[in-house]
């Protein structure tokens, strides 16, 4: 059965480029981004892992850990790391899971049926501090991910967890947000600043954070 939003992220113990880890213990009280890449020594994946390394400060500022997985061996991961650094200017600074037996890939349904091989597609799971799956994304192998979008969604989820708001289309951190429709107009006016009521259920307000 496929994993759904709100499900508990399955735990696993694996070898990684940073040593053996128990996933839940490793992420502890942090958010986590678990993402798969089809194979080592491939062009799109090289750019993606380099970009992830470059965003280390951004993930840390959001209390978020990142971890990658592919069906390649630990030896291949270590052998590929210098290429990533040379091509992107960013040395790997997060673990890559070695999953040659496809334990994690199958646990998270990352193998794309009908592709003629056993490599993973570009799956993304964002998992919150309570180990609940909060976001899933799946890209085809030929399309690199936009990691700025992943950060944007984490910003939105952390903001909306803390306040009675949601984020509108194309929202970016610091932009105006929407007060929860469950709040009365009186409560919205008392709670938020610069209320703009377009309809009784669509009230824009300033970012309360």
Confidence (pLDDT) at 207: 96
Nearest to 168 by CA among 200, 203, 143, 123: 203
Confidence (pLDDT) at 119: 62
CA distance 139 to 157: 21
Confidence (pLDDT) at 140: 83
First to last CA, the chain: 38
CA distance 183 to 191: 10
Distances (CA, A) of 12 to 41, 70, 96: 25, 14, 14
Confidence (pLDDT) at 2: 83
Find residue 179's DSSP bridge partners.
165
Confidence (pLDDT) at 109: 87
- In DSSP notation, 142-176 reads TS---HHHHHHHHHHHHHHHHSSEE--TT--TTS-
71's CB contacts (< 8 A; 6+ apart) are 39, 99, 100, 102, 105, 118, 119, 120
Looking at the chain, list the stretches that DSSP marks H as alpha helix, in order from N- to C-terminal side: 23-27, 43-54, 56-61, 74-88, 103-107, 147-162, 185-191
Confidence (pLDDT) at 118: 55
181 flagged as catalytic: no
Confidence (pLDDT) at 46: 96
160's CB contacts (< 8 A; 6+ apart) are 166, 167
Residue identified by tokens 């981004």 is 33
Residue ranges, the chain, pLDDT below 50: none
Domains and CATH numbers, the chain: 13-144 (3.40.30.10), 163-205 (3.30.1020.10)
Q: Which listed residue (9, 34, 45, 71) is catalytic?
A: 45
Q: Report yes or no: 166 and 181 within 8 Å, Cβ to Cβ.
A: no
Confidence (pLDDT) at 157: 98
Confidence (pLDDT) at 110: 85
pTM for this predicted structure? 0.92
Q: Is the dihedral of CA 18, 34, 146, 162 positive or negative?
A: negative
Our separate counts of H helices and E strands in the chain read: 7, 11
- Condensed to tens digits (0 to 9), the pLDDT of residues 76-123 reads 999 999 999 999 999 999 999 999 999 998 899 887 665 555 566 789
């Amino acid at each position: 059965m496929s994993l759904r939003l709100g499900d508990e992220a399955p735990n696993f113990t694996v070898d990684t480029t940073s040593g053996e880890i128990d996933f839940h213990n490793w992420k502890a009280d942090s958010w986590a981004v678990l993402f798969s890449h089809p194979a080592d020594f491939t062009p799109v994946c090289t750019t993606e892992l380099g970009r992830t390394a470059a965003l280390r400060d951004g993930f840390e500022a959001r209390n978020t850990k990142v971890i990658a997985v592919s069906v390649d061996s630990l030896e291949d991961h270590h052998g590929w790391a210098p290429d990533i650094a040379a091509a992107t200017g960013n040395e790997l600074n997060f673990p890559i899971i070695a999953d040659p037996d496809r334990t994690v890939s199958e646990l998270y349904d990352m193998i794309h049926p009908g592709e003629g091989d056993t490599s993973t597609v570009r799956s993304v799971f964002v998992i919150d501090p309570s180990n609940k799956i909060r976001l899933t994304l799946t890209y085809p192998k030929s399309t690199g991910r936009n990691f700025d979008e992943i950060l944007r969604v984490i910003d939105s989820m952390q903001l909306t967890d803390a306040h009675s708001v949601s984020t509108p289309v194309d929202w970016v951190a610091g932009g105006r947000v929407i007060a929860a429709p469950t709040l009365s107009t009186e409560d919205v006016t008392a709670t938020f600043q610069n209320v703009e009521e377009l309809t009784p259920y669509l009230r824009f307000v300033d970012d309360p954070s």
